Chain A
Amino acid sequence: MNRRDFNQLIGMGTAGILMPALPAFSRSVEPEALLEPGVDVAMKKRLADAAMNAAKSKGATYTDVRIGRYLNQFVLTRENKVQGIINTESYGVGVRVIANGCWGFASVSDARDESVVAKAAEKAVTIAKANARLLTEPVQLAPQKGFGEVSWKAPITKNAFEVPVKEKVDLLLSANAAAMKNGANFVNNVLFMVNEQKYFASTDGTYADQDIHRIGPSFTVTAVDPQNGRFATRNSLSAPMGMGYEYLQVNPSDKLSGVTTRYNKGYDMLEDITSAAKQAKEKLSAKSVEAGKYDLVLDPSHLWLTIHESVGHPLELDRVLGYEANYAGTSFATLDKWQAKNFNYGSKEVNLVADKTQVGSLGAVGWDDEGVKTKKWDLVKDGILVNYQAIRDQVHIIGEKESQGCCYADNWSSVQFQRMANVSLEAGKTPLSVQNMIKDVKKGIYIIGDGSFSIDQQRYNFQFGGQLFYEIKDGQIAGMLKDVAYQANTREFWNSCVAVCDQSDYRLGGAFNDGKGQPAQSSAVSHGSSTTRFNGVNVINTARKI
């Protein structure tokens, strides 16, 4: 879910790809600046210590300091044109304190001077004290041991910022040419790269320096039938990944063949865009779906978003408790359902895990944004709800002694709060291929790629579209469908899960722009799964005559 900026969006219309939002207060820089080292770690420690000392002297009982340098590069193209190459850097310091039992936060851009961060720390204490007079229950922070001076680096093999811009432009323009040659009328093709250099320090005694890399290629191919005034699009089947440029290296072992090729940890843009151009045209004349109940076979490039909305969000403890009631909403997965230890979130096939350490995922880090070491844990085990995702000021409510490490802020200027871990459906334990799964379906739809999505504020009722829909008749793919969306209730849907393909089909999907909080913050998160079958799901036809 993502709020959209009015002024940026107006005029983009349907022609535009929904762009990942720029981090707040970015300044544009030359590409070489993306490889410069930034503030030295010893200096960061001095700045952090200055902030912590200043806050303490004004009466703070706890302080944490985040010094962040956020580097982005966008390469934007359409058809045979480069629309823009944007390089941005955002650097600043955010200080969070507890004073008189209340949180306070203040931030400052481009702080390289100890007196400037000390002033921000004092401001955070002033704000905490102003708000404390409204408080009836002081913040309870779960104890956290200090880890001393530590560091973590994403295990990438090729830093995308070291690859010359020309190489990226050439890749995108050659892909666009392939799409136009294969029948596309328009192509928008964007490559987005991120490097978060985050330094965290707290009065618990942790000084964690972390280096996070992400990459996201995405295109939309459009086919137009001007005579009938119709158009159809097909988006890329790539995933945003917690990887370097190695994600764009073509590797046959990362391809899964079938009705269309799908990709694991190596993405073949040229091949996918060629298929996309043909499929966008095919969509224009595809059969419009007949509404009714179908068995759904959902590819990981589609299912990640259903997992995100119907599992990831309802199992965020802050939503369960009501902290997000005014915007993102609350949750049907209330504490009594968890306490009962027998709430069937899904069928026995359903095992859902949260994991902040998964290699290649968007959400992987060593320490979260309040100094907790990251880990993997069960959310739904053999279909039963067993746990939530929490942070330090909430875990006492579910009787836990330490946080699960889900605290995150999207920028130095944003206050950290509970965000979703990578939440994934575990692969089936018995060998099962996609082909064998489809073989058993009498009346079904095979859905590939994510499309339209919407879910209620307690995460009961949802509706999802997709990129590619194939009718399954008596175990065979019978052709392409269009105008497909499915509506279901979260618990009924996950209880209708009858089979999950094995580990050989397991892949990650994800998003850069999961929106939550006020002011809204963006977070990047991955969701893994293998192809999964759900029986008897309600499918609607979305075509309208105007």
Chain B
Amino acid sequence: MAIILTEAEAKALLTKVLSYSKADECEVNLLGEERGNLRYARNEVSTSGSLINQNLQVQSAFGKKVGVATIDEFDDASLEKVVRRSEELARLAPENPEYVGVLGPQQYLKSNGFFDSTAKITPDTRADAVNKSLQLSREKDLVAAGFLQDNYGYTAMMNSKGLFAYYPSTSVNFSLTVRTNDGKGSGYVARGYSDFSKLDTAAGTRIAIQKAQGSAEARAIEPGKYTVILEPTAAVVLLENIFFNMDARSADEGRSYFSKAGGKSRLGDKIVDERVTIYSDPTNPDLPASPWSGDGRAQEKTMWIEKGVVKNLSYSRYWAQKQGKKAVPGPNNVIMAGGNATLEDMIKSTQRGILVTKLWYIRSVDPQTILLTGLTRDGTFYIENGKIKHPVKNFRFNESPIIMLNNLEALGKPERVVSTESDQNYLIPPMKIREFTFTSLSDAV
């Protein structure tokens, strides 16, 4: 049997699995995937890999006693065995007071995240794409280290209440660091697409080369509060720490930034500048995502922050039931609306500031305020009187993305970016922020 099943094949297989069930409720999740990658460093290919994987998970429930079993062989005897095993485990399990039962049939939005161009990648396609990048760095006598990885697969689920969901998808991520031979300059680029035909490794490499050459001979300037222009790659690693914290239960329990004095949550409060709007939409053609979440809930277009106001927090089905709220699932993609400014406009309007192209090693310092620390990396530049003057040495910052979005000056057009911390793709605009806090200098290049 093929690893990647069509919708009809997945439906037939899942129907067969459910026919073996004797439990009160049964839910089956299925996936198949093929992955490949190629890595290079010191201008040479280094390691590479290929992987094929398929998996079927059965969850059986008797009342609130739940058992889960998994298998990767799909013959009839194996399928029946995995159903029986999940039932045995359910009978032995303690009651789970937070089990709320499986969902009935759902209506899902249509989202196209599958592209033949990505599904058909071979070891040779990968080598060709990397070769285009290597040729450029070798020609310029610069040192390249990069990574190309692609994924092709599907997920499907079905349960005893008649819910069925299927979603095929593809993705390719490319990232590259180019360094000067003397180690004084370093530039970075990352690109993420669902459609491999959109990836131009040579164009990406030229950007990293430009940043590597432009960042050499960096000068030290005093740490302190500066106006910063954050390219989307830099902004996203700060912003995603807001998204990670938008869970209603933590907020209601008083142990998150989204909690507030008096035992309430910040739902409905204005927390950032009114130009900030953050939402999720699985149908966005530039960032397609699965229209259903892992437990079968439909992913709708959902406002998280609209004009600076918290519009939604995510709820588990249990917590929503307990609180009498709508069970809004956590998002499968995140999009931040932008403004009209171009990066050039933002630089031109800056009297004294710093252009930050990438941030690195982001960690939470104080969850109460989402205070984060981390450093600039791979291209940081001083702006004076509307022009980029010279590269500067890297800084450590201690800043909260909430404070940052209150100090918003301008927003550009959203771009698809890859988080260097979580590998997740987002649509995020470049942004100009005043009074961003740099606390010390680093000698790192």
Please report A residues at the B interface, Cβ cutoff 8 Å: 1, 3-7, 9-15, 25, 27-30, 81-83, 85, 102-110, 123, 126-128, 130-131, 133-137, 169, 185-186, 222, 224, 226-231, 233, 321-327, 329-330, 332, 413-415, 417, 452-461, 463, 465, 483, 485, 487, 489, 518-520, 538, 540, 542-544, 546
Contacts and interface: CB of A to CB of B under 8 A. Distances in A.
Interface string B175-212: 11101000100101000000000000000000000000
Nearest to B424: A6
A131 B261 CA distance: 59
A87 to B, nearest CB: 9
A134 B130 contact: yes
B39 A518 contact: yes
A515 to B, nearest CB: 10
Contacts of A137: 44
A7 B422 CA distance: 10
Nearest to A30: B89
A246 B262 CA distance: 45
21 contacts: A3-B421, A10-B246, A10-B331, A12-B250, A13-B245, A14-B256, A28-B57, A30-B69, A102-B45, A107-B51, A128-B48, A185-B254, A185-B255, A324-B145, A325-B177, A454-B373, A456-B377, A459-B444, A461-B441, A540-B398, A543-B366
Nearest to A132: B45
A127 B39 CA distance: 12
A102 B127 CA distance: 13
A109 B72 contact: yes
Nearest to B361: A454
A95 to B, nearest CB: 10
A71 B421 CA distance: 27
B396 A487 contact: yes
Nearest to B421: A3
A449 to B, nearest CB: 15
Given A12-B247, A13-B256, A134 B147 contact: no
Task: Give the one of A7, A417, A543 with max B CB within 10 A.
Answer: A7
A4 B96 CA distance: 27
Contacts of B123: 126-127, 130-131
A324 to B, nearest CB: 7
Interface of B: 37-53, 55, 57, 68-73, 85, 88-89, 93-94, 96-98, 122-124, 126-127, 130-131, 134, 143, 145-147, 149, 175-177, 179, 183, 186, 188, 240, 243-247, 249-251, 253-257, 259-263, 294, 314, 316, 330-332, 360-369, 371, 373-375, 377, 394, 396, 398, 400, 402-403, 420-424, 439-445
A109 B49 contact: no
A9 B183 CA distance: 36
A28 B70 CA distance: 5
A322 B250 CA distance: 41
B42 A7 contact: no
A7 to B, nearest CB: 7
A119 to B, nearest CB: 10
A185 to B, nearest CB: 7
A5 B422 contact: yes
Contact of B330 (A10, A130, A453): A10
Contact of A103 (B48, B130, B398, B422): B48
Contacts of B402: 546
A186 to B, nearest CB: 6
Contact of A7 (B68, B97, B263, B294): B294
A15 B45 contact: no
Given A4-B244, A131-B127, A327-B147, 6 more contacts: A3-B421, A6-B244, A11-B316, A15-B256, A456-B375, A542-B366
A465 B372 CA distance: 12
Contacts of B363: 452-454
A518 B37 contact: yes
A27 B369 contact: no
Nearest to B148: A518
A323 B46 contact: yes
A110 B40 CA distance: 29
Nearest to A325: B145
Nearest to A127: B123
B274 to A, nearest CB: 17
A230 B263 CA distance: 10
Contacts of B93: 85
B250 A456 contact: no
A544 B94 contact: no
A25 B53 contact: yes
B81 to A, nearest CB: 12
Contacts of A5: 422
A445 B439 CA distance: 20
A108 B52 contact: yes
A10 B247 contact: yes
Nearest first, the 8 closest Cβ-Cβ pairs linking A and B are: A229-B261, A27-B70, A461-B442, A458-B444, A325-B145, A456-B444, A10-B330, A13-B250
B134 A229 contact: no
B258 to A, nearest CB: 8
B57 A326 contact: no
A453 B45 CA distance: 32
A102 B126 CA distance: 15
A72 to B, nearest CB: 13
B72 A323 contact: no
Contacts of B259: 229, 231
Given A109-B52, A456-B394, A540-B398, A326 B70 contact: no
Given A4-B421, A332-B444, A415-B49, A222 B72 contact: no
